[in-house]
Structure 1
């Protein structure tokens, strides 16, 4: 029996994600398939391993996120059905497996190889370790935010432990402990990056291996501090974190020369669709095509009523760049409170708006979002509002403008039809004065910030959209109650895969009581 479990564990740890990545691997080789394991190759392996959940591809959209997070956040329109708030186990299992067989294994192997290097090599290649840690922590944050307590500090070490199963079955770390460890490390990394000097040879090597920021050290500094800001604000409502949050946020925002953040759309942390197998429309692998993710069955590109109503009511300049109108030329979203028969009739008659084909579903070059300037500006606005650290209104309005600019910039990369002209600045200024948008006209400033966060990350970063909606409860969305189900409302976290209960049963007992769809993760306190 132990032999069977060991084989399963080895397979779990060593299997790479199933989607074909031949072209990407040609440019950035998978370290597990190269003749020589190197720090630089494993660094690229860390970036490459979760690429299916960075880029907007079929599996991520159609199978995993759209049927779950797309519903829970109302960034997609959908037809009501029985048990609609219970996520499909295969969708959750794939996301979980991707993390543990992908970035987790690659990162642990990188750690091992780096620690075994000479002191000279460690110094020369330090940037690879720092950058990989930033990206790995970004991925870890998403898993914690979706599942809560997870195996982490002891996970991914079967090979390191020379196949010893007993040593390699990892304990579950509490979400707050993982956040604390990551925030500690990211603070130290930010301080180190502020003064780092990379030898020219290794700087060129870093640039050759880095398909996220192209070896730009300034962007890695901005990524690090922007991630810190996101994570700090994520835990800002937790009493045990509040003193730390206020202190570190003030330090980041008060010292931009030492702790720079992403400030404009030219600095967005994104994976560009620049390798043949990163393209999203004419990709040779159907599992990667953004079109199939949105348009298969004609269901996962439906516009949601809440977003459409907010955009139409307030004259949002993003509307034509984000959605195609219905057959009558109108923008109408699927009402989540309508019965399914009425919803289906309207959909069949072409009365529902859909996500824009040029910007989204047939855009060969839709990038993989990691952190955007607009997200950072909205984080600043929230921090300024809560801690009186700066001009919250200016940061909020800057974020709105950056989001508008970003969607038109992405629209301009598409070739399906001629790109739209960017909106006139006067139209953007007018939008900022609308009742549902104006800073001065609204007393609930946090609702304004939360709503614009929701509109910005939307379908492009559904895990972030879901996390911020749970944390802020803003905007407040209405859902049809599924009274015939054990889960009548959208879940507040995911449940763990069955493989955890079977293969890691002893450690699983520590989290069994909270492994359900109704127990909030540690930072979700409202």
Structure 2
């Protein structure tokens, strides 16, 4: 089966899109799968990963079309002028991401098809490709479930597998709980299998070559697997049907680091690194995606800037640069202001923007998947929930230090010619920040106050860089408290708690959509959003 013939209709729903990678260039190491006469497990593996790269590496489509008017605003990671309809996710951005996910899923189904058609010996030799592909897929799937709730999954992307049976390939919607259960079961099984797997000597080099996430590093894949488990288990920790499992399995992971290694340091971060900006693996699109002039994609919000100002946050100069007329002051747009006032402030040149040198103009900005500050904040939350204040404090303070280090290391990668090259924050600055009353663990006297500290640091660390995790944790914790102008001119008066399904899914998968129609509202909470 040629990669070119995988094609045409991916029904998540009925998506009219080629499955094969269509970019004219890949890298020398990762040949463009659409130019291959025949597929193989190895080639299909890289093609599958490659399909989603534009929604991991920061680029124009993701940041300008999808995030600029949705999560960046709902998370108050940016400031913008209010307008009616601003709390309804734009259909173009929702649809583009939906299409990309199901494009990626269809590539994965083709990988399964090629693998299943292989001999028993070849399947044994290439098992590592299938295990790690599933981990990579589940990271993206969790994001989609956390945005939409129920999605087509177990039966989706099967047109090629079903030999072109169009009607038979329409996919049912699996519930969010069902998908989470399936993924958590599989990830636990994969974590165990990765501890005993031996990669055939004939496939060590091919795996290293085709794996452009972890370069064939099995330990890194173990950390990816268990860190993703940790994220998901924490996400469902307040859901009644998952509480016991969450507590048991998080304890199991954290108490057995040799068996279940996780991301502990920034050197172990799971991300797509950019090595050569002249290949397709680059972040060139971040500039127009985040920092397009006048579109409010990179303008600072008042709450984030005010908190950083008040606490002398050492990340402020890493993440932001003052407006050109602000005389060095960091100023953000007030979400409760009138549109006229907000626009006038922006036009005055006083509004801070995300630092172009570190973020948008940095063509070496990595595609962030999971990092150490995120994991330590999850650990802090778990330890706090478990009554282990000492360990919670250690994880919390470690996460903050690592967050500063993370953005410092990102700045060191930059090839930007615009923006402000920041000075490296000192240990003394980090220590002073940890002692600030609004940040200090010891100054917070109740579990609720300490959870508020964790939530605030998640919000600051995620900002525009990890918007999906930011959106999920803000909804789950209802912290930090974000105030928005009420949009009385629209039925959706406040930010949504989920995204609608795109119009193509509604139109072309009507029978299966009917089963979820009643829950397809922007106000329908996900099962883990119980506060």
User: TM class by shorter-chain length?
Assistant: over 0.9
Instruction: Pick one of 49, 63, 66 that aligns with 2:65.
Output: 63
Please point out which of 99, 102, 105 is paired with 2:101. Answer: 99
Q: 2-side partners of 1:461 and 1:258: how far apart?
A: 28
Whether the 8 Å CA contact 2:10–2:157 is kept in 1: the answer is: no
What is the match of residue 336 of structure 1?
Answer: 335
Residue 464, structure 1, aligned to residue 469, structure 2: yes
Do the aligned partners of 1:453 and 1:465 also contact (CA within 8 Å) in 2? yes
Query: What TM-score, normalized to structure 2?
Result: 0.93
Residues 296 and 277 of structure 1: CA distance in aligned 2, closer, same or farther (over 3 Å): farther
Q: Which residue of 1 aligns with 2:250?
A: 249
Aligned counterparts of 1:231 and 1:277: Cα–Cα separation in 2: 33
Alignment of 1:317-336 (within 5 A): 317-326=314-323, 327=325, 328-336=327-335
Rounded Cα–Cα distance in structure 2 between residues aligned with 1:506 and 1:298? 39
Cα distance in 2 between the residues matched to 1:39 and 1:489: 46
Distance 1:169 1:186, change over 3 A: same
Distance 2:92 2:452 in 1: 34
Partner of 1:401: 401
Partner of residue 454, structure 2: 449
Q: Residue in 1 aligned with 2:525?
A: 520
Aligned residue in 2 for 1:384 = 383
Residue 348 of structure 1 is matched in structure 2 by 347
SS in 2 for 1:416: coil
Corresponding position: 1:510 with 2:511: no
RMSD between aligned residues: 1.8
Distance 1:25 1:507, change over 3 A: farther
Name structure 2 gaps, 5 residues minimum. Answer: 1-6
Larger mean Cα displacement after TM superposition, 186-195 or 114-123:
114-123
Cα drift, residue 435 of structure 1: 1.4
Structure 1 stretch displaced more, 200-209 or 226-235: 200-209
Match of 1:123 in 2: 124
Check 1:21–1:274 CA distance in 2 against 1; reply closer, same or farther (3 A cut): farther
For the pair 1:12 / 2:15, whether they are aligned, the reply is: yes
Secondary structure at 1:481's aligned position in 2? coil
Separation (CA, whole Å) in 2 of partners of 1:397 and 1:7: 50
The residue that corresponds to 1:215 in the other structure is 216
Give, in whole Å, the separation in 2 of the partners of 1:9 and 1:243. 37
Q: How does 1:189-268 map onto structure 2 within 5 Å?
A: 189-268=190-269
Deviation at 1:45, TM superposition (A): 1.6
Write the deviation string for residues 175-224 of structure 1: whole angstroms up to 9, x where unpaired.
Answer: 00000000000000000011221122211110011111111111100000
Q: Distance in 2 between matches of 1:519 and 1:187?
A: 29
Q: CA 1:431/1:7 → structure 2, altered by over 3 Å: closer, same or farther? A: closer
The CA deviation string for residues 92-141 of structure 1, in whole angstroms up to 9 with x for no partner, is 1111011112x100111111221221111111111100110000000000
One of 300, 309, 313 as aligned partner of 1:303: 300
8 Å CA contact 2:9, 2:18 repeated in 1: no
Alpha-carbon spacing, 1:349–1:296, altered in 2? closer, same or farther (3 Å): closer
Aligned to 2:371: 372
In 1: Cα distance, 2:10 partner to 2:422 partner: 51
Corresponding residue SS for 1:12: strand
CA distance in 2, matches of 1:349, 1:355: 17
Contact 1:42-1:106 within 8 A present in 2 as well: yes
Query: Paired residue for 1:37?
Result: 39
TM-score (norm 1): 0.94
In structure 2, the residue matched to 1:500 is 505
Is the 1:236–1:242 contact (alpha carbons within 8 Å) kept by the matching residues of 2?
yes
Contact 1:412 1:419 in 2 (8 A): no
Deviates more, 1:9-18 or 1:204-213: 9-18
Residues 148, 499 of structure 2: 8 Å contact kept? yes
Q: Indicate the larger mover: 478-487 or 409-418.
A: 409-418
Structure 1 contact 280–363 (Cα < 8 Å) conserved: no
Deviating 4+ runs (over 4 angstroms) = 6-11, 278-281
Give the SS at the match of 1:213.
coil
Shift of 1:492: 0.5
Query: Which secondary structure does the structure 1 equivalent of 2:241 belong to?
Result: helix
CA offsets per residue over residues 264-286 of structure 1, 9 Å max, x none?
Answer: 111111111224244656x4xxx
Over residues 323-361 of structure 1, what are the superposed CA-to-partner deviations in whole Å (9 max), with x where a residue is unaligned? Answer: 001222100111000001111111111111111010012
2:317 and 2:394 map into 1 onto residues whose CA distance is 25
Query: How far did 1:7 drift?
Result: 7.4
Residue 419 of structure 1: CA displacement? 4.1
Give the SS at the match of 1:446.
Answer: helix
* Aligned partners of 1:377 and 1:399 also within 8 Å: yes
Structure showing the higher helix proportion among its residues:
1
